[in-house]
Chain A
Amino acid sequence: MAYNIFTKAVLATGLTFAVSSAFAADVPVQSGASDGMLANTCAGCHGTNGNSTGPSAPTIAGYNPEYFKFSMAAFASGEFPSTIMGRIAKGYTEDEIAQMADFYAKQKFIPAKQEFDAAQAKKADKLHDKYCEKCHEDGGASPEDESGFLAGQWAPYLRMQLADYYAGSREPSKKMKKKMEELHEKAGDAGVEALVNYYASKQ
């Protein structure tokens, strides 16, 4: 595990699974679906086996299971801003989310085939190393990181997340916040956009 910020974030925010009690069903329902049965329901938006064909919905194949569980809980609680995942994440129990986390962790992450600006990508190599590599190892490609993949993730999706972090609607961990601020002071919006191209270039 590259950096154990995830566990700290959970402790710090007191984020827990409110999910299992959130069921609004008016009648008793059957639970106990298999991991594949549960996970395949997501493929219409995230792609077969979690590899999104883009351009904006994120690939979730190969995700670190701890981060997967964390983000589903954060969607359900409203901690993470979302257009639609907040509504969907509430539909699964903690156990079901854990099953899906294991299912997706086993799928191969396929880097997105997308366009990028090579010059910007090159420029951002150093920015990544300096500000982000500590937690997003291997240029943002390590499944050990308790965060989503940055390398090979769909660029429009990363842009949205970065915009939300800078706007304050998605709260980064304290240390990441500090690095993001340093990055912005040093390189400005152009530096952030260069980083997006850097991650998009990893195919």
Chain B
Amino acid sequence: MSITRRGFMQSVGAATAVGLIGAPHLALGASKKVVVVGGGTGGATAAKYIRMADPSIEVTLIEANEHYYTCYLSNEVLSDERSIDSIKFGYSGLQGHGVKVVHDTVSEIDAAGMVVKTKSGKSYGYDKCIVSPGISLNYGAIDGYSHEAAESIPHAWKAGPQTSLLRKQLHEMKDGGTFVIVAPPNPFRCPPGPYERASQVAMFMKAHKPNSKVLILDPKPAFSKKGLFEQAWKKFYGYGTDNSMITWKGTPSGSDDNVVSAVDVASKTVTTGFDDVKADVLNIIPPQMAGKVAIDSGLANDKGWCPVKLKTFESTLHKNIHVIGDSSVATGMPKSGYAANSQAKVTASAVIAMLNGQEPGIPSYVNTCYSIAGHNHGFSVAAVYKLAEDESKIVSVAGGLTPMDASEEQLRREVEFAYSWFNNVTNDAFG
């Protein structure tokens, strides 16, 4: 990779000033190379959209696993509303778009050398690197919790075997048991996720273990879609009564009442600022940070997340590396699958423009997040975003929540549309 070649490409792009689609392929020199690190929602979408818009670009996607399990709708696997296979996706679709898919673990992205290195010892040079490694779990924040402890006390915040393990524990739990969810502090992947999980677990208990309870220990004073969740919990699970199936214990700011600081793995007991709580099934969702590879490659700030330019998602710390999805600090957008999908398209377009020596276009972003809180009872948050003029944040220009007075029919339809969203977003990323 020589400066001269890049300089040459820039001048070609600038001189012909062609549109993104239908840009004439460079007749001289090797084709431009993009390496995508992480084939989850963000990475898969970016790889596909680059190939769809500019097939002259060589895209290599490096993903640790042969199959991707979506976190979205994985809460329905716990309650047997769907199977684990229904959230499993492979990479043949991307191969169909001409993406070179490599199954390997990236050990380092060398920004200076513009090369991605893998555990198996291979190196992949790039002109542009797109990094979408999701999250890493900060086990250290909870005394006694660890990667090994997660084999018996699952987080299930990365879907797959962890989801199946938590499902098994729920199904084997005695009737009358307590399922404790330790919710994470902000910012974390999928803000409504822990509360949707509580709903799905309660839905299962209501049908199969009616004397059981869900207890959420939360280090936060409030949570996403709280009004809508509580309304559903009242409707289905006796929330607010003495016999409620779901109890939420929040923590006022400045206090540590329900902040879990330690766990005794053998007895499934957690220590909060207030109490010791023993669980029959314990689900600890620990504090989170950017994917390990992003941190190891010097892409994260001191809080563990990756700062980026919001117009192109190019790292502010290293040139020619773009960080998207949960790992990035996309100021103004939540960490969600839809957000990762949307950011991937903004980034694909920016990367193509930059490789062709053009100015990246004005971005447009969307996020939606559906939650299914009971049978035929779904709701959503949606937002349309634009970039602030000074590029300091991504600003919601429209959107909002399902109204509190939505009809039964609307709530039913939102479940149907949640399933359609799942089919479309997974097909948009992997199909």
Contact = CB atoms under 8 A, between A and B. Distances in A.
Given A25-B386, A29-B389, A84-B382, A45 B424 contact: yes
A29 to B, nearest CB: 4
Contacts of B406: 83
A28 interface: yes
A171 to B, nearest CB: 17
Contact of A84 (B361, B380, B431): B380
A187 interface: no
B274 interface: no
A55 B424 contact: no
A32 B362 CA distance: 6
A87 interface: yes
Interface in A36-92: 36-38, 40-48, 52-57, 83-84, 87-92
A160 B413 CA distance: 9
Given A30-B389, A31-B386, A88 B424 contact: no
A56 B420 contact: yes
A92 B385 CA distance: 10
A36 B346 CA distance: 10
Given A43-B428, A44-B421, 6 more contacts: A30-B386, A37-B364, A44-B338, A89-B398, A90-B384, A92-B398
A55 B398 contact: no
B400 A55 contact: no
B341 interface: yes
Contact of A31 (B346, B362, B399, B419): B362
A36 B420 contact: no
Interface in A134-174: 156, 160
Interface in A185-199: none
A115 interface: no
Query: Is chain B's binding surface mostly helix, strand, loop or mixed?
Result: mixed
Q: From DSSP, what is the main secondary structure of chain A's interface residues?
A: loop
A131 B23 CA distance: 48
Closest 10 A-B residue pairs measured CB to CB?
A: A91-B384, A91-B398, A57-B420, A29-B386, A90-B398, A41-B366, A33-B364, A28-B389, A56-B416, A44-B425
A83 B402 contact: yes
A42 B366 contact: yes
B382 to A, nearest CB: 5
A44 B368 contact: yes
Q: Which of A22, A25, A34, A43 has most chain B Cβ within 10 Å?
A: A43
A24 B342 contact: no
Contacts of A87: 382, 398-400
A57 B417 CA distance: 6
B269 interface: no
B387 interface: yes
B398 A84 contact: no
Contact of B388 (A24, A27, A52, A55): A27
Interface string A2-36: 00000000000000000000111111111111101
Contacts of A90: 384, 398
A91 B267 CA distance: 51
Interface of B: 20-21, 49, 53, 338, 341-342, 345-346, 349, 361-366, 368, 380, 382-391, 393, 395-400, 402, 406, 410, 413-414, 416-417, 419-421, 423-425, 427-428, 431
B427 A48 contact: yes
A29 B410 CA distance: 32
A35 B136 CA distance: 36
Given A27-B395, A30-B388, A56-B417, A41 B365 contact: yes
B341 A44 contact: yes
B325 to A, nearest CB: 14
Contacts of B341: 43-44
A38 B364 contact: yes
Nearest to A23: B397
A52 B397 contact: no
Nearest to B52: A48
Given A23-B398, A44-B366, A83-B410, A33 B361 contact: yes
Nearest to A91: B384
Contacts of A89: 398
A83 B384 contact: no
Nearest to B21: A36
Contacts of B345: 37, 40-41, 43
21 contacts: A24-B398, A25-B395, A25-B397, A27-B388, A27-B389, A29-B389, A30-B389, A34-B349, A36-B20, A36-B21, A37-B349, A37-B363, A41-B342, A43-B424, A45-B424, A47-B427, A52-B424, A53-B431, A84-B417, A91-B366, A92-B398
A55 B428 contact: no
A17 B368 CA distance: 24
Given A83-B417, A92-B384, A37 B362 contact: yes
A33 B311 CA distance: 11
A158 B382 CA distance: 23
Contacts of B342: 41, 44
Contacts of A56: 413, 416-417, 419-420
Contacts of A42: 366
Nearest to A43: B428
B227 to A, nearest CB: 16
B412 to A, nearest CB: 10
B50 to A, nearest CB: 12
A22 B397 CA distance: 8
A55 B419 contact: yes
